[in-house]
């Protein structure tokens, strides 16, 4: 009986110790053992010590960056943007209240449980609602701009820079603000879905251009700032700009620039029509195709299709031009390299510059262009009788034709070489001497004893130098 009584007393004593110890081991003003904040043990710390720990967490919180996301795009939202910080005093009160609120049973359970589970106490955070609203407003304006593809540019020293693309998003500012406010107090939630209502994604991304890091070749031509023709050059150059050719891909100049019509924004300027310069929509575009042709030659690209003009032009060497015409004359170039290339244009004040950018391993070591044929095709002089008594011009000057050929030799640092050639034929145009029917009749009646004005003009044509057609 005595043994049973003492056993009961011992058991009661042990239960008392177990029941009282969790309360006895932690003095007022100190945190319950086993607690953690953001992975740091804060059990048994005083109020001052807790404040020190929380201030260190606050410094880390200020480095926190959340991201607004959609598809592959991530937009940073920093603690500075939102005014996010730890509310130290409120957090300390929350920590010290753990194991000290509710019934004795609840307090005892929390204190004992903290020994085994090591519970994480989330610090109390606050943010500046006005800053959040301002950030969302600015962000909405930024992504509401028209979508823009990634682009390339190059500097005089050959360095290539990638300009990041820009998507277009339309979204509810109110809904995004609400999601941000809900996520801010939750440490570890670092991504917030944008959930846009309307999206336009770029077709060329920065990642697609990452392998393009070097200038392969470039060519420059010059033009007069004469209004319509200069405007056409700039329009066509803008269409060609930033065209990316993947390995094995080819580019049609006509496809890229579209029809040279008024509806496409082209203006009337001189073009060759039936061998003569006449005003028509798109005059000047051939300077862009010719500049691109030479840039492609110097970059080692393949030329799949190219046609010379009816007559030589003034902005490139004879035999190195490339004419285009809607539906039937085109310039087609191809990328024969193992990496993508990008065509970049600059149309400044009277200057057109076209470059081909690509991977540094594809840059030619040498490119040699040699004129291997230059033959003049003399033009004739013909006489044309004009009926009527109206004034007629004495003559229309023609010009010689030319047969020209160039050879291109390209070599690369790895020992590869390529040689090709291209020919140009410029048709001769006869000088026309006009004779009125009346003068011809008078001459016949006079028995050929005097020379008419038209006859004198015909004689003079043999001595004059022959004119060359103007450039486009």
pLDDT (tens digit per residue) in 109-149: 888 888 778 888 888 888 999 999 999 999 999 999 999 99
Cβ neighbors of 348 (< 8 A, separation 6 or more) are none
The packing angle between helices 88-97 and 47-61, to 10°, is 130
* Residue 332, pLDDT above cutoff 80: yes
Comparing 182 with 464, the larger pLDDT belongs to: 182
Give the mean pLDDT of 200-225.
92
Instruction: List phi, psi (to 5°) of 90.
Output: -65, -40
What does the pLDDT read at residue 461? 33
What does the pLDDT read at residue 462? 31
Nearest Cα to 293, choosing from 320, 325, 314?
320
Task: Give the rounded distance of the alpha carbon of 57 from its chain centre.
Answer: 41
The answer to whether 135 touches 159, Cβ cutoff 8 Å, is no
pLDDT tens track for 166-177: 999 999 999 999
Domain boundaries, the chain: 129-208, 211-461
Six token digits for residue 71: 């598809």
Comparing 370 with 210, the larger pLDDT belongs to: 370
The pTM of the full predicted model, rounded to 2 decimals, is 0.72
The answer to whether 381 touches 262, Cβ cutoff 8 Å, is no
Give the mean pLDDT of 308-335.
95
CA distances from 398 to 136, 159, 276, 376, 464 (A): 69, 48, 10, 14, 11
Name beta bridge partners: 217. Answer: 356
* Residue 150, pLDDT above cutoff 50: yes
Classify strands 417-426 and 395-396 as parallel, antiparallel or unpaired: unpaired
| 3-class DSSP state of 377 | strand
What does the pLDDT read at residue 274? 63
The confidence band for 27, taking pLDDT boundaries of 50, 70 and 90, is low
What does the pLDDT read at residue 107? 78
* Residue 467, pLDDT above cutoff 50: no
In the DSSP assignment, the letter for residue 26 is S
Q: Residue 157 — left, alpha, or beta (φ > 0 → left; ψ -120 to 50 → alpha)?
A: alpha
253 burial (CB, 10 Å; 0-12 / 13-18 / 19+) is: buried
| 3-class DSSP state of 302 | strand
Six token digits for residue 272: 């060759």
What does the pLDDT read at residue 459? 39
**Helix H or strand E encompassing 193:** strand 191-193
Give the mean pLDDT of 207-222.
93
Cα radius of gyration rounded to whole Å, the chain: 42
* Residue 466, pLDDT above cutoff 80: no
Instruction: Give CA angle at 462 (456, 468), nearest 5°.
Output: 115
What does the pLDDT read at residue 148? 94
What does the pLDDT read at residue 152? 94
The answer to whether 185 touches 327, Cβ cutoff 8 Å, is no
Classify strands 191-193 and 65-70 as parallel, antiparallel or unpaired: parallel
Minimum mean pLDDT range among 85-89, 106-110, 146-150, 240-244:
106-110
Comparing 306 with 96, the larger pLDDT belongs to: 306
454 burial (CB, 10 Å; 0-12 / 13-18 / 19+) is: buried
The answer to whether 128 touches 82, Cβ cutoff 8 Å, is yes
- Helix then strand then coil, in percent of the chain rounded to 5, is 30, 30, 40
Q: Residue 359 — left, alpha, or beta (φ > 0 → left; ψ -120 to 50 → alpha)?
A: beta
* DSSP string for 447-462: TT-S--HHHHHHHHHT
| 3-class DSSP state of 346 | strand
In the DSSP assignment, the letter for residue 34 is T
What does the pLDDT read at residue 4? 59
């Amino acid at each position: 009986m005595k043994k049973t009584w003492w056993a009961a007393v011992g058991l009661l004593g042990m239960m008392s110790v177990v029941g009282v110890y969790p309360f006895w081991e932690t003095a007022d003003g100190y945190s319950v053992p086993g607690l953690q904040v953001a992975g740091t043990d804060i059990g048994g710390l005083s109020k001052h010590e807790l404040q020190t720990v929380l201030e260190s967490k606050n410094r880390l919180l200020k480095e926190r960056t959340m991201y607004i996301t959609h598809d592959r795009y991530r937009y940073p939202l920093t603690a500075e943007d939102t005014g996010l910080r730890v509310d130290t005093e409120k957090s300390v009160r929350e920590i010290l209240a753990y194991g000290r609120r509710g019934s004795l049973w609840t307090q005892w359970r929390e204190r004992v449980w903290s020994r085994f589970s090591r519970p994480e106490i989330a610090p109390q955070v606050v943010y500046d609602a006005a800053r959040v609203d301002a950030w969302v407003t600015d962000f909405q304006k930024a992504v509401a701009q028209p979508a823009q593809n990634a682009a390339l540019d190059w500097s005089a020293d050959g360095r290539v820079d990638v300009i990041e693309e820009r998507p277009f998003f339309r979204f509810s500012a109110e809904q995004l603000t609400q999601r941000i406010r809900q996520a801010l107090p939750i440490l570890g939630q670092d991504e917030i879905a944008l959930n846009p209502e309307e999206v336009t994604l770029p077709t060329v991304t920065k990642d697609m251009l990452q392998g393009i890091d070097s200038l392969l070749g470039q060519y420059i031509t010059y033009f007069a700032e004469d209004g319509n023709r200069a405007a056409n050059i700039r329009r066509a150059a803008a269409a060609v700009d930033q065209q990316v050719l993947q390995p094995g891909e080819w580019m049609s100049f006509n496809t890229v620039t579209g029809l040279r019509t008024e509806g496409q924004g082209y203006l009337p300027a001189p073009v060759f029509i039936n061998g003569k310069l006449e005003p028509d929509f798109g005059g000047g575009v051939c300077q862009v195709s010719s500049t691109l042709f030479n840039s492609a030659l110097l970059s080692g690209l393949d030329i799949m299709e190219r046609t010379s003009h009816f007559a030589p032009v003034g902005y490139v060497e004879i035999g190195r031009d490339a004419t285009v015409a809607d539906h039937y004359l085109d310039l087609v170039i191809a990328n024969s390299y193992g990496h993508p290339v990008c065509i970049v244009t600059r149309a400044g004040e009277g200057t057109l510059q076209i470059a081909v950018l690509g991977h540094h391993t594809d840059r030619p070591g040498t490119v040699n262009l040699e004129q291997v044929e230059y033959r003049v095709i003399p033009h004739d002089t013909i006489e044309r009788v004009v009926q009527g008594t109206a004034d007629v011009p004495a003559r229309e000057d023609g010009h010689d034709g030319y047969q020209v050929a160039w050879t291109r030799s390209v070599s690369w640092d790895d020992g590869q070489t390529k040689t090709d050639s291209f020919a140009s034929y410029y048709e001769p145009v006869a000088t026309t001497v006009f004779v009125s029917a009346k003068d011809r009749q008078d001459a016949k009646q006079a028995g050929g004893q005097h020379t008419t004005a038209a006859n004198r003009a015909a004689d003079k044509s043999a001595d004059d130098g022959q004119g060359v057609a103007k450039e486009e």
